[in-house]
Amino acid sequence: MKKLLLICAVLVCFVKANAAIAKRITVAQDGSGDYKTVQEAINAAPDRSNTRTEIFIKTGTYKERIVVPIEKTNITMIGEDVKTTVLTFDNYASKLDTAGKPLGTSRTASFYVYGRGFSAKNITFENSAGPVGQALAIYVAGDEAAFFNCRFLGFQDTIYTNGRGTREFYKDCYIEGTTDFIFGAATAMFDNCDIFCKKGGSYISAASTLDTTKYGYVFTHCHITGSAPDNSFALGRPWRPYAKVVYLFCDLSNVISLAGWDNWRNAENEKTAYYAEYKNTGPGYQPDKRAAWSHQLTDDEAKIYTQSLILNGWEPIKP
């Protein structure tokens, strides 16, 4: 009887786990899956779904300009291996379109997310254009977008968190770039991520947080390293007034400048931007030498930086 009950319990758990996934799709360039391209798999997902579509992407370099439209909700993409499952394209801002006009920053992304509830694991998102100015690896505008053990490769403007009032979560990810390589208006939490400052750049973040948004970018337990010279990178500069960026429990290498923050050549930004740190470590953490208009949080002030509060109750679930 006990054995029968145990088998039943296992079956119930299996059914519940699979009931949350309405559809499974496999992408493989060699034809062994359901589709050969990632965009075909996204197009095959049901529109406005309340249950999850899981897209498994086999090892390969997929050179596609990929879009997850607003009607494609609750899509999960899982790569076979983070270093060998690569989604890449090579557009850049000064490249001319078919009408002879420059693409501009927003049209350069290799991957676009508009649909709500998108998540990804074990995938590399890349813009392979090189150091040619603004060139996005990913553009995220959908709410509740989560990334686990993913890599984001580029130079200037690698990740555009463009959703106003939307929430994003990055866990155990690797992010590299030169200038403003994490930028935009969304609330985004980066937990235990490796942030790599490449030679030729000067700023990690360029938030454009709305004045009505409580949290902008929050980095917790991240590791900041790079190939850039010592004291050459600021933790952030305000793309727009009211930018909000906080680093907590992060390990900062000596690539970080002593002042830590930049006002983007506008002293007025010092009155509205909120830049803060709490219990960081490493040679790049020099709290007594930071810009006078930045903040070192007290224990009480740091209490509001919990995942639940930052993400306003949304609980990202790892695929």
Active site residues: 157, 180
Residue 214 to residue 311: CA distance in whole angstroms: 10
Q: Which amino acid is at 258?
A: L
| Residue 107, Cβ density class (10 Å: 0-12 exposed, 13-18 middle, ≥19 buried) | middle
Structure-token pair, residue 90: 């090579």
* Distance, CA of 159 to CA of 96 (rounded, Å): 21
The rounded distance, in Å, linking the Cα atoms of 36 and 45 is 15
Q: Name the helix (H) or strand (E) containing 301.
A: helix 299-302
Query: End-to-end CA distance of the chain, in Å?
Result: 34
Q: Distance between CA 22 and CA 53 in Å, rounded?
A: 6
How many residues would you count in the chain?
319
Alpha-carbon distance 70 to 112, whole Å?
Answer: 10
| Integer Cα distance of 306 and 318 in angstroms | 18
The beta-strand segments (E) located in 178-222 are 179-184, 187-191, 194-197, 203-207, 217-220
CA distance 70 to 11: 35
User: Are 237 and 270 in contact, with CB atoms under 8 Å apart?
Assistant: no
Distance CA 249, CA 241 (A): 26
Rounded to whole angstroms, how far apart are CA atoms 294 and 298?
13
